[in-house]
Structure 1
Amino acid sequence: MRKIPAALAVLTLAVVSLTGCSMPGASGCTRPAVPDQDVMDLIKVSGSTDAAPQVDVRTPFHTTDVSFQDVETGDGTPITSDKQLVVVDISVVSGKTGEVVAKTGYSGDLTSVRPVSALSGLFPKMGDALHCATEGSRVVLAVPPGGVEAQTAASIGLAGDESAVAVIDLRKVYLPKADGSNVYNTGQGLPTVVRAPDGRPGIIVPDGAPPTKLAVQTLKKGDGEVVTGDVPVRVHYTGVLWDAKTVFDTTWDGEPKSITLDSVVPGLATALKGATVGSQIMVVVPPDKGYGDQAQGSIPAGSTLVFVVDILGLDAPATTTQ
């Protein structure tokens, strides 16, 4: 990854913080209104949310627009960004026959993680159907012709002029960014952090020599699960070289990364262990807790590394509930 001057990154973030906008957080997240309740009244969904739903549709079913409704409302993390990661089960029902034409496994496996944008790609006319929907919810969509991606529709036998019904169970929703309470830290000659509205951090490295010992600061304190190292942790992070003051790696240009504590440098592993989901931490890693006297890609030998990490959730091992 190319190096980005830290000063330029900070300037960009400062501009975004003045002119950008972001979707509301959990406390102010409101589900959009259902476009057509008359259409939704033609669909009945029943059964446990732990298993595939029973879907009864008055056929032939037709709609000209996407409508949606929460059959069950969970109390977990809300979806506020199409970049957020989720685990879902989906059933698709033909509007002509009322039969299920496709469904996921409903096995309880929480390892099939994908961004919300992947669901928008599957249902291109989805619109706001998942905005502010929460983990644990079951959402029903009335899908107009063309509302299922063309190749997918053909593969499951939906005609081009056919409406459909989709039932989406939100098994797991990862945070889009650290959402914990801000924590006061004294300067102590360590870097400072600024944030764009979407959570992306800018790291300002001070002049002067770096600390010789591992330094860890909690910038936001989350109240979620504890990172133990027993399962992978899903994070957004940015890494900066202290001496060059340049970004050497970041996940914020793409999807959050799943990491294990034994796959990262020892200093970062130490900082992450015991931290909680929803937290943002800053870690200054001296060479003996990083890559030591070995160069690593664009990281020179003997480098002090600065990481800012948002802890978004814990990944789950594959399980079977049926």
Structure 2
Amino acid sequence: MRKTAAALITLGLAALALAGCSAGPSFAGQACSSKATSSVLTNSVTVKGEFGKAPEVSFATPTKVQKSSVDDLITGTGSAITEKNQPIVIDVALYDAKTGQSLGSTSFDGSTQVADINTWDGQLKTIGDALGCATAGSRLLVGFPAGTVAEGGAVAVVDVQKVFLPHAEGSLVYNDALGLPTVVRAPDGRPGIIIPDAKKPAKQVTQTLIRGTGAKVTKDDVLRVQLTSVDWDTRKVLKSTWDAQSVAISATGLEGQTVGSQVLLVIPPADANQSTGADGNGTQAIVVDILGVDTSASLSSGQ
């Protein structure tokens, strides 16, 4: 049986159980020119190699890092990181500033998974300060003062491989369908769903609220999305990726939409049951923000 958008979105919401809460403040209003820089660090550390490949790094040791710093070794022309819960893909090579020894790195082979600044800050303290306003395609040289990552300080080379949209972006679409939920949005794009005093739809409804200007979604795409689900009867929020991390879902059921779009789906219990095994106890209103195509994600055959 062909899977519906309801099935795939329910599966995406279920994936939240695997993600820790990482919501946090945004960079909204931050002047990108205010990022700390350190010409001293670039005088002590030499980085060679192509963007996206493991860097070749040499040190004048010991290198002293007096304070957190960041230098743009390569300035990318892609989208900027503007929110701390915005999905990104970065590769990191970390070194002890005192000895120049490697402290570990990601693979630099295209297999690094999507995360966000909140997640990275939990693993590599204060890296988020360097990533704010960084653009896709950039290579950064980041300095960590003594005691934050290593006793004598640390240096990281960071390649910003991909930056997804922080939320739906595009043109508002006029919809005159009566009896459907109304969606309002906070400044950071987080949607609120207002359920009307009206009869519930008997069949699944799909309504485009914002039409993005990105690539058209195909049936084989894996999408990186933000989701909010509300129970029609109780008006309670059932799940929200905005309080955790964005998730990857199959594009089946969302074919023809464009990246950047926001879509409202009203899912009756029967449709939710078709291929998910969900309990189908009530009708759900789900708002999906399509942030981009996630080429690094893989979904199980059950999705």
Q: TM-score, normalised by structure 2?
A: 0.79
- Letter aligned with residue 132 of structure 1: C
Distance in 2 separating the partners of 1:318 and 1:196:
28
Distance in 2 separating the partners of 1:169 and 1:106:
9
Aligned pairs for 1:113-262 within 5 A = 113-126=114-127, 128-148=129-149, 153=150, 160=151, 162-261=152-251
Question: In structure 2, do the counterparts of structure 1 residues 291 and 93 end up closer, same or farther at CA, with 3 Å as the change threshold?
Answer: same
Pairwise CA distance, 1:29: 6.3
Structure 1 gaps, min length 5: 1-20, 154-159, 262-268
- Letter aligned with residue 304 of structure 1: T
Question: In structure 2, do the counterparts of structure 1 residues 117 and 241 end up closer, same or farther at CA, with 3 Å as the change threshold?
Answer: closer
Pairwise CA distance, 1:130: 0.7
Pairwise CA distance, 1:280: 0.7
Does the aligned pair in 2 maintain the 1:44–1:57 contact within 8 Å?
A: yes
Of 17, 24, 29, the residue aligned with 2:28 is 24
Residue deviations 1:136-186 (CA, integer Å, cap 9, x gap): 2111112211221xxxx5xxxxxx2x1221001111222221122222322
Does the aligned pair in 1 maintain the 2:28–2:83 contact within 8 Å?
A: no
Report the equivalent of 1:44: 46
Report the equivalent of 1:56: 58
Pairwise CA distance, 1:42: 2.5
Does the aligned pair in 1 maintain the 2:118–2:128 contact within 8 Å?
A: no
Pairwise CA distance, 1:48: 0.5
User: How many residue pairs are counted as aligned between the two chains?
Assistant: 273
- Letter aligned with residue 94 of structure 2: V
Residue deviations 1:94-140 (CA, integer Å, cap 9, x gap): 32333434222211224x22221232223323352110111221111
Answering whether residue 268 of structure 2 is matched by residue 273 of structure 1, we say no
- Percent identity, please: 41
Report the equivalent of 1:284: 266
Of 296, 299, 306, the residue aligned with 2:285 is 306
1:41 counterpart SS class: helix
Residue deviations 1:274-300 (CA, integer Å, cap 9, x gap): 2122111112234443337x9944x42
Does the aligned pair in 2 maintain the 1:68–1:141 contact within 8 Å?
A: yes
Pairwise CA distance, 1:22: 5.2
Structure 2 gaps, min length 5: 1-24, 299-303
Distance in 2 separating the partners of 1:215 and 1:125:
44
Q: Which structure has the bigger radius of gyration?
A: 1
Residue deviations 1:35-56 (CA, integer Å, cap 9, x gap): 4333333223222103111223
Question: In structure 2, do the counterparts of structure 1 residues 306 and 67 end up closer, same or farther at CA, with 3 Å as the change threshold?
Answer: same
Does the aligned pair in 1 maintain the 2:48–2:55 contact within 8 Å?
A: yes
Q: TM-score, normalised by structure 1?
A: 0.75
Question: In structure 2, do the counterparts of structure 1 residues 243 and 34 end up closer, same or farther at CA, with 3 Å as the change threshold?
Answer: closer
Does the aligned pair in 2 maintain the 1:89–1:103 contact within 8 Å?
A: yes
CA RMSD of aligned residues (A): 2.7
Pairwise CA distance, 1:187: 4.5
Question: In structure 2, do the counterparts of structure 1 residues 101 and 296 end up closer, same or farther at CA, with 3 Å as the change threshold?
Answer: closer
Distance in 2 separating the partners of 1:85 and 1:179:
15
Does the aligned pair in 1 maintain the 2:27–2:84 contact within 8 Å?
A: no
